[in-house]
């Protein structure tokens, strides 16, 4: 099983538009891994996670022809994860999908409500499938379990994806998980080979608000996962979804700080094969 990070920034991108903060200035100057686009990932070059406003740029940069991708799971309605406007182009006369072509988009009722704003013609080739937390479903060879996220939208989800041999927990965007999510993972004896955790606020110890994480919260979350046997010392824990407002949030500055605590730091284009 392979995960590729196509975009690894929080909503504003990194550097952020209009911003002249120290983190953004450093990113502009250094380029490379310090440049981050909005969050998206792909499993085995086939199963897309999220459909943000940078999807088009990710496809061009990563040699992905969207026409070859048939399934996308969406975490939540924030535009850095779900950009409805681009789906408007998915209809006859504007694009030319093959007659037998179907693109399945899975998401909570929040995404379903937004889909109502799309022109009718889109739905000839686009299937929206409403999913519910704690109700696993099959897509291609994967069993996907939506779990409740702790984030600022009505029904945000995080996803456990298993191919029967390896399992990934893609936890964006979320704070340290809700008790219902801990309980479900424990009761179902889930185990993850890779966990991708929200690190929106970089090297902070803690935050004055809830809905995202920082390094201190990542440590608490990882420690509880270890305690509950959801992961072990072989699990790769990746920190991802960085905002320029975080402390030491540039890849170059953050990677050594995270590595010292046993975490991998994501960057656009990073691939991990399990
Ligand atoms: Zn986000
Ligand atoms: Zn900035
Ligand atoms: Zn969000």
Give phi and psi for 99, each to the nearest 5: -55, -30
Confidence (pLDDT) at 97: 83
Neighbours of ion ligand 1 (CB under 5 A): 80, 173
Domains detected in the chain: 2-273 (3.60.15.10)
Task: Name the residue among 198, 184, 255 with its Cα closest to residue 33.
Answer: 255
Q: Distance from the CA of 8 to the center of ligand 1, in angstroms? A: 9
Counted residue by residue, the chain has a size of: 274
Q: Distance from the CA of 77 to the center of ligand 2, in angstroms? A: 23
Could you tell me if 136 and 122 are in contact, meaning their C-beta atoms sit under 8 angstroms apart? Answer: no
- Note down pLDDT in tens along the chain; length 274 residues: 999 999 999 999 999 999 999 999 999 999 999 999 999 999 999 999 999 999 999 999 999 999 999 999 999 999 999 999 999 999 888 888 887 889 999 999 999 999 999 999 999 999 999 999 999 999 999 999 999 999 999 999 999 999 999 999 999 999 999 999 999 999 999 999 999 999 999 999 999 999 999 999 999 999 999 999 999 999 999 999 999 999 999 999 999 999 999 999 999 999 999 9
Closest ligand, as measured to the CA of 246? 2
Q: Distance from the CA of 148 to the center of ligand 3, in angstroms? A: 13
Around Cβ 28, how many Cβ atoms within 10 Å?
Answer: 13
Confidence (pLDDT) at 101: 85
Which ranges constitute the DSSP H helices of 65-126? Answer: 84-87, 109-115
Helix, strand, coil abundance in the chain, percent, nearest 5: 25, 25, 50
- Pairing label, strands 157-162, 167-171: antiparallel
Closest ligand, as measured to the CA of 18? 2
**Rounded CA separation 48/128 (Å):** 14
Around Cβ 63, how many Cβ atoms within 10 Å?
Answer: 7
Confidence (pLDDT) at 48: 98
């Amino acid at each position: 099983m392979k995960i590729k990070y196509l975009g690894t920034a929080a909503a504003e991108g990194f550097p952020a538009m209009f911003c002249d903060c120290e983190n953004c200035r450093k990113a502009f100057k250094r380029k490379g891994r310090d440049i981050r686009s909005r969050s998206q990932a792909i499993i085995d070059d086939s199963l897309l996670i999220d459909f943000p406003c940078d999807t088009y740029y990710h496809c061009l940069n990563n040699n992905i022809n969207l026409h070859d991708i048939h399934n996308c799971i969406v975490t939540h309605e924030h535009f850095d994860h779900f950009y409805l406007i681009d789906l408007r182009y998915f209809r006859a006369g504007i694009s030319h999908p093959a007659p037998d072509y179907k693109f399945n988009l899975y998401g909570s009722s929040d995404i379903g409500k937004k889909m109502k704003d799309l022109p009718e013609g889109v739905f000839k080739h686009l299937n929206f499938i409403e999913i519910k937390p704690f109700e696993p479903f099959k897509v291609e060879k994967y069993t996907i379990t939506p779990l409740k996220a702790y984030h600022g939208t009505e029904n945000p989800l995080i996803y456990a994806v298993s191919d029967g041999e390896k399992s990934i927990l893609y936890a964006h965007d979320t704070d340290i998980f809700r008790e219902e999510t801990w309980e479900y993972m424990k009761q179902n004896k889930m185990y993850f080979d890779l966990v991708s955790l929200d690190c929106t606020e970089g090297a902070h110890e803690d935050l004055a608000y809830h809905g995202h994480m920082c390094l201190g919260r990542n440590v608490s979350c990882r420690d509880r996962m270890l305690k509950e046997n959801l992961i072990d010392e072989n699990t790769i824990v990746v920190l991802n979804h960085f905002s320029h407002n975080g402390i030491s949030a540039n890849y170059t500055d953050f990677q050594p700080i995270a590595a010292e605590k046993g975490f991998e730091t994501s960057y656009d284009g990073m691939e991990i094969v399990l």
